[in-house]
Structure 1
Amino acid sequence: MDTRRLLRTGGIAFATAALLLSGCSGQDGSGQESNPDASPTSPRSSGSRAADTARTLEPLPRQVPAELRPYYEQKLVWKECDVAGFQCTELRVPLDYGKPEKSEDLRLAVTRKKATGPGGRLGSLHVNPGGPGGSAVDYVQTAAGVGYPVPVRARYDIVGMDPRGVAGSEPVECLTNEEMDAYVRTDVTPDDQGEVEELAAAFEEFARSCEKREGRLLGHVSTVEAARDLDVLREALGDDRLTYVGASYGTFLGATYAGLFPHRVGRLVLDGAMDPSIGSRQLNLDQTAGFETAFKAFLKDCARREDCPLGSGGTGEAARRLGDLLEELDARPIGTGTPRRLTESLATTGVLNAMYTEYYWPRLRSALAAARNGDGAELLALADEYYDRGADGSYGNIMYANPAVNCLDLPAPYKGPDEAEKAVADFREASPVFGRNFAWTALSCTYWQTPPTGEPRRIEAKGAGPILVIGTTRDPATPYRWAEGLAEQLSSGTLLTYDGDGHTAYVRGSDCVDSAVNDYLLRVRVPKDGTRCS
């Protein structure tokens, strides 16, 4: 069972978890009614009406308050990392920006790969791979710092900072590995009242365990605070403006920065964009439709293959065959060659993981064929990757940081299980196979112990320089309409469209996308608004 639906970036052959959203039908968290003119990919709209009703994120004062000057004026001490060719340091920030003089300090992990030349150095290029909960440090050291285009690495120091609560930066922890194994097996498609109560109890126990272990931190891991940390790092690095590439949830972080500090925005690339004006209910319903769009693309491709385990009778038949398999697993989990068995919830997670990139589609065909023959090992491996579970049974921090940030950033979409149950029909309309899973998963934040501090906000960032927003037409995790919504809100937003599959677009094989981003980062050449790549 996923704590909430995660998003993963697909660039540079490196998948890192991103965001899980929660939702239901009807009104979203910002209060607007659904749009009857929505795209066929979703029964609801996440477009301009949400942006029109949400309040605007107001910028912070230009002048840094005196009590924050010691943080902005700190000198970073760099040392060689364990990974050759990279430098590491720690950034000191206040736990509570509202009371910095009374607050304890947090130490945030930072890494960089210095510009290699030739060409004059353009400054620091900050990157965030998504999440919330994805490690920017790991991403820089394994992907961006070695895989970004050579001209970009030649002229920028590639910088990554783990946001507060993530990986090397005061990581949130909630369960033991054994407890997490049990948690992800929990049935998130309850068939009766007893299973509803079991699911609610699992969510509540997870939330209480997080509060017990991390109470002091849980109220201060919001995206607004992470954006403020970015500004402290920008100043400590000696850059007048922030240059940034954010993917998936990283677009929400980057857009939030732009809204708070429009006068300090340099070149911002927001790839696989989120729409910050939409409430949690509508976000998850949109995302459900996004996964359905990606799933249909997989089924269409699968039907052309001789090894397709779901038949060649069209997407309807294939979806029914997968649904039948999941129902069988709900009744009778199958073996995996280990003490762990493949349950319906784990199998669903494995399938959804493969929707993030079309490069996983052959692997998914093989895993589904094996599962239909009684071997669940391959689907379990896909689920384990999604949950960041190692071969030794240990879990990474992302599954704890993710709900900690999400449940703080937006109010919960449901007041209780009854509302989740009422939402199932609308979610199944958005995705007949995955709708129940998404509808019930959205219940998780209902039991979170720390009250939310955020709400849906329109981000305009008036006064900022050109901001490049990228949307992929069949992106499962950040539906294309979200990129349209963000680009429309930003006063200087430019939309670049990738007509393709998978999650995010930069450095994923499109020369058109890569050239446009590189020209923007290196020469401040912004593509014409509405440019399409394939």
Structure 2
Amino acid sequence: MSRVFARITRSVQVRGRVVLAGVAALTLTAAGCTTGSGDPGADGTAAAPGTTAAQPAANLSRFYEQTPKWGACDDVQPETQGSQCTWLEVPIDYASPDAGTTKLRVLKVPATGTAKGSLLVNPGGPGGSAVDYANMADWIVTGQIRRSFDVVGFDPRGVGRSEPIVCLDDVKTDEMLGADPTPDDEAEYQQMIEASKQFGQACESKYPKLLPHVSTVDAARDMDVLRSVLGDEQLTYLGKSYGTFLGATYAGLFPQRVGRLVLDGAIAPDLTNDQMNLGQAVGFETATRAYVQDCISDGNCPLGGEVEAGLTKLRDMLKQLDTNPVPVTGDARVTKLTEGWATLGLARAMYDETAWGGLTDALRQLEGGDGTDLFELAKQYADRSSDGKYGGNIMQVISAVNCLDRGAQPQDFTQMQQLGQEFAQKAPTWGPFLVYGSTTCAHWPVPATGQPEKITADGAAPIVVVGTTRDPATPYEWAQQLASQLSSGTLITYDGDGHTAYMRSNSCVDSAVDKYLLEGTPPKEDLRC
């Protein structure tokens, strides 16, 4: 099955600590909360400009007016003192709210001072656990935000603890991630297609009711229910990576309920699949070039002493693994580093420049015929432990969400080769890999419910978009694109490396975001940090 990096926040560096999205199962405790602003009625549930959502049934009061029962968390390891958990009930299908419900896990870290309200957070994915992310409140927001807001995260439907979509067991997931990501001929391409079909069929067989209703529009509607249940008249929100798409979708659906939204590491919602795949390929290429330059500057780089030659050597190393995997040690099940695993390990390091030193050591080890360290990076990316168990379901549910949000048309091998050549011209290292990013969705068993389109959110309060100039996963141009499309969008530019910017040791970005969240004052136009 082809894999997509699109919309994943695999790691976030926060004040010297790496928080892996969807990684540890963390735990917490609870208190009370008031009910909110009630049934949305006709003032915001219809599709706003820039969305394709259908008008849901009006009888949603019982969901909007439910009273949460906060208590200690038995499924989350404690990380931030005083955390509390509850369940949120939402309709599986908003168009038919009486046809069945599903429950979403919610975690709240109460403010250390007098709370202004709730700050909902989402780390990305789709598939990153916002429960785990909110549980890291002391590291994902500043102290003054902690004093002023209850930090709240919910696992979207199909994610984490919210009826998680897990279509393959751990062994099959290993096979999927370790498979050849760059088919060389028609036969290998057909193998990729067949694996994609089998994966989709397994998902449909296990989750026939839920699978058609795990789109970002569904998650955004759930977020509005949660806003009401928390007692907030408007939504205050911090979304990273895919979380920016979730936030923008919410703004398009409910512009009048937008409070203070921060969208960091942005995705432009009108990107086609090919544009998204190419954009990411170029983004990862830019990040990889920056890594190679850094490796050379540090000295004794295993890729040599010149950037272009170093990139060529890196591509050769991946290509050699296609036919000659190298041994790895210390894992319960995987014994060889394949091209698939190696590509994930390389991607993991591109998300966060603090991992570059470890990548250099891993490449030096790989030169000696040992793939253990690069496989360790791949396991971090996949949220997999050495005993062969996966900590979350992000590597599976990402397809379920993406394929509903934007479908893809099947293409034959000749078409893919031609497209691959176009990608390779702009991104020689990553283009041949990411050109296959839509293969799974091209054969997904459930029809797409969304399509690429602009979101303007006319009438919404100011929305802050943050873009990093050398972000590999969500290229800076996407942040520019989203900020310009949103009627009230304002852009903060961080000139730097890595994925996302807020709480990654840049005080300029942190101060501007904090001022906006605390005072409602957006930064000056085109602030650069």
Considering the TM-score relative to the shorter chain, is it more than 0.5?
yes
Structure 1, unmatched stretches of 5+, are 19-54
- Classify 1:424/1:60 alpha carbon distance in 2 versus 1 (closer, same or farther; 3 Å): closer
| 2:341 aligned to which of 339, 346, 358 | 346
* Residue 255, structure 1, aligned to residue 248, structure 2: yes
Query: Amino acid of the residue matched to residue 326 of structure 2?
Result: I
Q: 1:451 corresponds to which residue?
A: 447
Equivalent residues of 1:17, 1:130 under 8 A apart:
no
- The 3-state SS of whatever aligns with 1:216 is coil
Q: How does 1:209-228 map to 2 (within 5 A)?
A: 209-228=202-221
Higher RCO (CA 8 Å, separation ≥ 6 residues): 1
Q: 1:421 corresponds to which residue?
A: 417
| 1:123 aligned to which of 117, 133, 144 | 117
- The 3-state SS of whatever aligns with 2:383 is coil
- The 3-state SS of whatever aligns with 2:163 is coil
Q: How far is 1:94 from its partner?
A: 0.1
Moved more, 506-515 or 404-413: 404-413
| 1:16 aligned to which of 14, 21, 43 | 21
* Residue 437, structure 1, aligned to residue 442, structure 2: no
- 1:369 and 1:2 map into 2 onto residues whose CA distance is 28
Q: How far is 1:240 from its partner?
A: 0.2
| 1:188 aligned to which of 161, 181, 194 | 181
1:312-347 deviation line (CA, Å, top 9, x unaligned): 1x2110011111211221121100125520011211
Q: How far is 1:17 from its partner?
A: 6.5
1:258-278 deviation line (CA, Å, top 9, x unaligned): 000000000000000110011
Q: 1:316 corresponds to which residue?
A: 308
Structure 2, unmatched stretches of 5+, are 24-48
| 2:322 aligned to which of 323, 330, 338 | 330
- The 3-state SS of whatever aligns with 1:14 is strand
- 1:146 and 1:186 map into 2 onto residues whose CA distance is 35
| 1:163 aligned to which of 143, 149, 156 | 156
Equivalent residues of 1:113, 1:145 under 8 A apart:
no
1:46-70 deviation line (CA, Å, top 9, x unaligned): xxxxxxxxx8327888xx9641011
Q: CA RMSD in A?
A: 1.7
Q: How far is 1:419 from its partner?
A: 2.8
Q: 2:83 corresponds to which residue?
A: 86
1:87-119 deviation line (CA, Å, top 9, x unaligned): 000000000001112x211000000011111xx
- 1:180 and 1:65 map into 2 onto residues whose CA distance is 38
Q: How does 1:441-480 map to 2 (within 5 A)?
A: 441-480=437-476
- The 3-state SS of whatever aligns with 2:337 is coil
Moved more, 421-430 or 355-364: 421-430
- Classify 1:156/1:191 alpha carbon distance in 2 versus 1 (closer, same or farther; 3 Å): same
* Residue 133, structure 1, aligned to residue 127, structure 2: yes
1:508-530 deviation line (CA, Å, top 9, x unaligned): 00000000000001111211110
Identity, % of aligned positions: 48
Equivalent residues of 2:2, 2:438 under 8 A apart:
no
TM-score w.r.t. structure 2 length? 0.90
Query: Amino acid of the residue matched to residue 269 of structure 1?
Result: V
| 1:204 aligned to which of 197, 209, 212 | 197
Q: How far is 1:363 from its partner?
A: 0.5
- 1:454 and 1:78 map into 2 onto residues whose CA distance is 34
Tell me the matched-pair count. 490
Q: How far is 1:304 from its partner?
A: 0.8
Q: 2:46 corresponds to which residue?
A: none
* Residue 521, structure 1, aligned to residue 517, structure 2: yes
- Classify 1:413/1:473 alpha carbon distance in 2 versus 1 (closer, same or farther; 3 Å): farther
- 1:215 and 1:358 map into 2 onto residues whose CA distance is 41
1:393-418 deviation line (CA, Å, top 9, x unaligned): 11221111100000110011544444
1:339-370 deviation line (CA, Å, top 9, x unaligned): 52001121111111110010010010000000
Equivalent residues of 2:363, 2:374 under 8 A apart:
yes
Equivalent residues of 2:266, 2:478 under 8 A apart:
yes
Q: 1:48 corresponds to which residue?
A: none
